[in-house]
Amino acid sequence: MTTHKLLLLPGDGIGVEIMREVERIIAILNGKGGANSFETESDLVGGAAIDAHGVAISEGAMEKAGIADAIIFGAVGGPKWDDVPYEIRPEAGLLRLRKDYDLFANLRPAICYPALADASSLKKELVEGLDILILRELTSGTYFGEPKEIVTLENGEKRGVDTTVYTTSEIERIVKVGCDLARKRSGKMHMAAKWNVMKTGVLWRDVTVATHKAYAPDVELELILADNCAMQLIRNPKQFDVVITDNLFGDVLSDEAAMMTGSLGMLPSASLGPPDPKTGRPKALYEPVHGSAPDITGKGLANPIAMIASFAMALRYSFDMTKEADIIEQAIATVLGNGLRTADIMQNGLEKVGTEDMGKAIAAEIEQALG
């Protein structure tokens, strides 16, 4: 039997509530006594860590993250920390995890479950059967480029600066991940950038074309301007399969893709680093794409599906537990098919449930399928 170490970082707001539903599933998997079992540790991140330690992630939590086989992350932030200095803000904890562990490949699959085709803000026929994967570069670009500052000019005016930086190798490695994923899917990949305006966009285009030619000429590659991509996603989303893009465009395009699936509460993500030289496995963090949702925190209303689906991605990408990952994803589809809905995906005539009841229903399906 293999025991995997998980670090659970629920964070703030609804992160805490939805993480409980993942713990419920972990307990079921452990109870079945299969070939894999899980050992969990928890720690604070985001505003909760600021309250306890004065920083958005403590050195102790970073160390635990370093030895964990996978990090399961909830959400960070909330109005309570709106006035803390920029350097300390809750998001800094997440950004440090991404940067220090080099989690450069962020997979954000947007799948429209058949039962939710009506819940999308787009027409049903546009999203029914939708299955796209936004692959976002996560450790460089505008998020981390220097200088990043607000300076006061001689005339007293202020000037804010963010810097978008990419190097050849940073683009190359994400393009290769995109090609690998495209090969396992429909064999089609788009690359979205702004080579008509940005120098980093020119580099993204040139490096993508060269890497694709040398590494995966069998993959069908299309270059698309990022603004056009945003438009095409709304016009005809099913033309896309894998879409690779930079850190900032990826942040925006993945929220857009998420909404097509019915709700931001549905979209999971995996953030993967380079393979570890010893184990061959990438360092990995799994998190829902949605945030901490302060407006509904503590009310038991949050949709736990993106969090649970993120855990399924952990089983798939970190532990090769394909069967269990399939079972979890199927359990989500079944429960939705049975008409259970949290408030964010509620439709007329269906059964409205809270976080815990949704989690329990999915857990029951998993338990049954595991036999």
Q: Would you please indicate which residues are annotated as catalytic (active-site) residues?
A: 143, 194, 227, 251, 255
Size of the site for Mg ion (CB under 5 A): 1
Looking at residues 236 to 295 of the shown chain, list those that interact with Mg ion (rule: CB under 5 A): 251
For ligand IPM, which residue has the nearest CB?
Answer: 91
Site string for ligand IPM, 153-192 (x = CB under 6 A): ----------------------------------------
Residue 100 binds to ligand IPM (criterion: CB under 6 A): no
Residue 251 Cβ vs Mg ion, minimum distance, rounded to whole Å: 4
Residue 94 Cβ vs ligand IPM, minimum distance, rounded to whole Å: 6
Q: Residue 69 corresponds to which tokens in the numbers above? A: 């086989």
Q: Which of 278, 245, 261, 303 is nearest to 107 (CA)?
A: 245
Q: Which of 44, 77, 83, 79 is nearest to 60 (CA)?
A: 44
Beta bridge partners of 132: 110
Other CB atoms closer than 10 Å to residue 231's CB: what's the count? 12
Q: Which is nearer to Mg ion, 262 or 359 (CB)?
A: 262
Q: Which is nearer to Mg ion, 78 or 359 (CB)?
A: 78
For residues 370 and 130, give the distance between their C-alpha atoms in angstroms, rounded to a whole number: 27
Q: Which of 12, 21, 43, 251 binds ligand IPM (CB under 6 A)?
A: 251
Residue 246 binds to ligand IPM (criterion: CB under 6 A): no
Residue 137 binds to Mg ion (criterion: CB under 5 A): no
Looking at residues 283 to 312 of the shown chain, list those that interact with ligand IPM (rule: CB under 6 A): 289
User: The tokens 């990090």 sit on which residue?
Assistant: 71
Q: Which is nearer to ligand IPM, 108 or 205 (CB)?
A: 108
**HSE, side-chain direction, 13 A CA sphere, residue 6:** 23
User: The tokens 């994803």 sit on which residue?
Assistant: 329
Q: Which is nearer to Mg ion, 113 or 249 (CB)?
A: 249
Q: Which is nearer to ligand IPM, 58 or 142 (CB)?
A: 142
Residue 75 Cβ vs Mg ion, minimum distance, rounded to whole Å: 11
Collapsed DSSP state (helix, strand, coil) of residue 187:
coil
Residue 91 binds to ligand IPM (criterion: CB under 6 A): yes
For residues 320 and 33, give the distance between their C-alpha atoms in angstroms, rounded to a whole number: 17
Residues 315, 270 contacting (CB under 8 angstroms): no
Residue 258 Cβ vs Mg ion, minimum distance, rounded to whole Å: 9
Residue 248 Cβ vs ligand IPM, minimum distance, rounded to whole Å: 8
For residues 7 and 70, give the distance between their C-alpha atoms in angstroms, rounded to a whole number: 6
For residues 356 and 361, give the distance between their C-alpha atoms in angstroms, rounded to a whole number: 9
Q: Which of 283, 318, 317 is nearest to 66 (CA)?
A: 283
Size of the site for ligand IPM (CB under 6 A): 4
Q: State the angle between helix axes of 59-67 and 91-100 in degrees (0 to 180), rounded to the nearest 10.
A: 40
Residue 94 binds to ligand IPM (criterion: CB under 6 A): yes
For residues 211 and 242, give the distance between their C-alpha atoms in angstroms, rounded to a whole number: 16
Residues engaged in binding ligand IPM (CB under 6 A): 91, 94, 251, 289
| Residues near Mg ion, by CB under 5 A | 251
